[in-house]
Amino acid sequence: MCGICGKYYFQPVGMEPIAALIQRMTHSMIHRGPDDQGFYIRKGIGLGHRRLSIIDLDTGKQPLANEDGSVVVVFNGEIYNYQTLRDTLLGKGHIFKTRSDTEVIVHSYEEYGEKFLEKLRGMFAIALWDNRNHTLLLARDRLGIKPLYFSTSPEWIVFSSEIKGILQDEDFGAVEVNPDALDGFLRFYFIPGQETIFRGIRRLLPGYYLTVKDGNVQEHQYWDLNFGPESHDLDFDGLKHNLDALLRETVRGHMLSDVPVGFLLSGGVDSTALLSYATHETNKEVSSFTVGFSGEDFADEREYAKLAARTFGSRYYDMTISPEDFIKFLPEYIWHMEEPVCEPPAIALYYISKLASNYVKVLISGEGGDEAFAGYPNYANYPLARRIGNLIGPFRKLASPIIRNVFGEYAAGKYKKYGFVIGEEFKNFYFSRTSGPHTFFNENYESIYTDGMVAVRRRNEVINGFMNDLFSRSNDLGFLEKMLYIDSKTWLPDDLLIKADKMTMANSVELRVPFLDHKVVEFAANVPSKYKVNGRTTKYLLKEILKNVVPDKILSRKKTGFPVPYEKWLRNEMRDSIQEVLLDGKSLNRNYFNKRKLQEVIKLNQTKGWYSKEIFCLYVLELWHRTFLDSPRILQSHYASK
């Protein structure tokens, strides 16, 4: 696990300015790799690397080149099948000088060209310089576990594992807001797709690679999530057997490390399942970590996490987060996340990985189990509502607005969304698992936005174009599969995985996610819907293979995740700060929001608790502006140097 960066000038320039820039870029993300640094500097090209040593501690230094130095790589992540690939390449005559997975990338590119990416099984962001034909290749793993950002001009391309790296480049210029992405954040509670809130900085999409040759930048897709009938001819017992074997093999690969490995326990099915597999695949002691919250009347996962650790013989650690801890970290949350994301549990993840960093360098998490095997309640509720709509046939269009109006004020409109599901086309009600026409900023944008932002919303072809492409690609899928596909391209990479990477790397800890191994995800995609969701039971197939493994107290409990009690904290400990920040003249002068409507939302949340998620979004958005837009560039290394 590391941080990578670089810049490629399309016309040769001197080496000194490139070297100085690459040093600044790597220093800005020293937290991603405190163990070592490395540089490759030539006329017109510079690559940088920060290393967190996990595998081949002695000889795995990067950048790493082939025998004659014509192919050079910097790489962030892990290739879990590197030993198998290494054996194959040795058989083809390639000569290795290290035991690292990085060197497998170099020789795989030599052997297979750009198709080498199809051979890799792992999580990765790769930058490869081919000096023979002066071509730069950037690549990102299939699901988007590792981030990679880039910015281009007619003269250059600059890239980095973190946006802060790009901000070190004087050629990039001053930070400006991307209004389309800002609107996207409020529509989705994260920013979907390739755009970022920084104008001119984009993400490389998951499953894509980019090539640059002679100033020509081209993006290519090498993988997509396909739902098909491959597993449909297997009976249920056959599916259970194959999934169990696949998970055992996957966890075994994810346990590969030359440093200690630990587990994040949420007290749920997924993390407990992975711990059970891991303890059977290693003879090393496995540590596990979880978190709870101070105060009364809060859900506490520690009871279930302790049960899991005790059941599988894991050394157990936990900690308690107070509202003061939550509030204190918010400025650094913005700094490390770099973009506004409405994800309060990310702060819990930061603290738990900070605790874990005292004992391990690698953590394994159950992230992705719900996305792969359909574990969220909406994966059961939405298809049920759709079936009801199909039953009432021609009356569903009439029923849809009635249901929305009836439930519009009840429980802050919590059930209004089902009216849309019953009567609307899929693309008109399912934007992601966290967003639809019923969510506040989609339903009320005309009243809370200023005229300028209303215009942005109505012409936002960037976000609309990205989503329409996804709807087109998934048009022929079944109802549940459409939901899973959309979430795999939006919520998963742009919320869940961004949070997972940024919060753990803030503490120099590598996070691995076995459920998002592409072999596991592809297997899950081809499981029939009835075995993903059976009646009201989500993750049906996965739970069936765990019946005799995971304690029933964990297996049968209602899904909660990390239930951070931020709603109460917003109305109490953060009450004054919310008012001061959101209604401050500086905030209002950004001209995004109608002051009167903003005051109304704050008041309703304070009195009824209706809009906690929206308040957190607005608060995070303003803190982002103060951190990245209002601060002089020289302050951009503040937290990196702490």
Nearest to residue 408, comparing CAs of 418, 421, 396? 418
Given 186, 221, 256, the domain boundary residue is: 221
326 occurs within a structural domain: yes
pLDDT at position 636, please?
Answer: 46
229 occurs within a structural domain: no
Nearest to residue 195, comparing CAs of 144, 156, 162, 150? 150
Measured CA to CA in angstroms, residue 515 lies from 369, 538, 546 at distances of 5, 16, 14
Is the omega angle on the peptide bond into residue 63 within 30 degrees of 0, that is, cis? yes
Instruction: Report d(CA 23, CA 3) in Å as an integer.
Output: 12
Same domain, 496 and 352: yes
Same domain, 97 and 185: yes
Active site residue 342: no
Sequence-distant (≥ 6) Cβ neighbours of residue 548 within 8 angstroms:
none
Q: Specify the number of domains making up the chain.
A: 4
Same domain, 14 and 130: yes
Instruction: Report d(CA 609, CA 313) in Å as an integer.
Output: 41
560 occurs within a structural domain: no
Same domain, 262 and 358: yes
Same domain, 518 and 602: no
List the CATH number of the domain containing 290.
3.40.50.620
Domain of 590, in residue numbers: 566-641
List the CATH number of the domain containing 181.
3.60.20.10
pLDDT at position 637, please?
Answer: 45
How many Å separate Cα 567 from the centre of its chain?
A: 23
Dihedral sign, Cα of residue 590, residue 592, residue 595, residue 598? negative
14 occurs within a structural domain: yes
Given 533, 555, 577, the domain boundary residue is: 555
Alpha helix (H) residue ranges in 168-287: 179-188, 236-254, 269-281
DSSP character at residue 559: P
Same domain, 172 and 55: yes
pLDDT at position 403, please?
Answer: 72
Task: Give mean pLDDT in consecutive 10-residue pieces for the chain, a chain of 642 residues.
Answer: 92 89 95 91 95 70 92 96 96 93 96 98 98 96 98 97 96 95 97 97 98 96 88 83 96 89 92 93 88 81 92 95 95 96 95 96 95 95 90 77 68 72 90 94 96 96 96 95 98 97 96 97 95 94 94 85 86 95 96 96 93 96 96 49 42
Given 445, 473, 489, the domain boundary residue is: 489
Same domain, 414 and 444: yes
pLDDT at position 410, please?
Answer: 57
Same domain, 351 and 244: yes
Same domain, 540 and 570: no
150 occurs within a structural domain: yes
Same domain, 485 and 503: no
pLDDT at position 90, please?
Answer: 96
561 occurs within a structural domain: no
Measured CA to CA in angstroms, residue 500 lies from 40, 78, 104, 144, 365 at distances of 29, 15, 26, 11, 9
Same domain, 244 and 349: yes
The answer to whether the predicted template modeling score (pTM) of the entire model surpasses 0.75 is: yes
337 occurs within a structural domain: yes
pLDDT at position 641, please?
Answer: 43
Same domain, 549 and 586: no
Nearest to residue 501, comparing CAs of 513, 490, 489? 513
**Among 2, 5, 342, 617, the one annotated catalytic:** 2
227 occurs within a structural domain: no
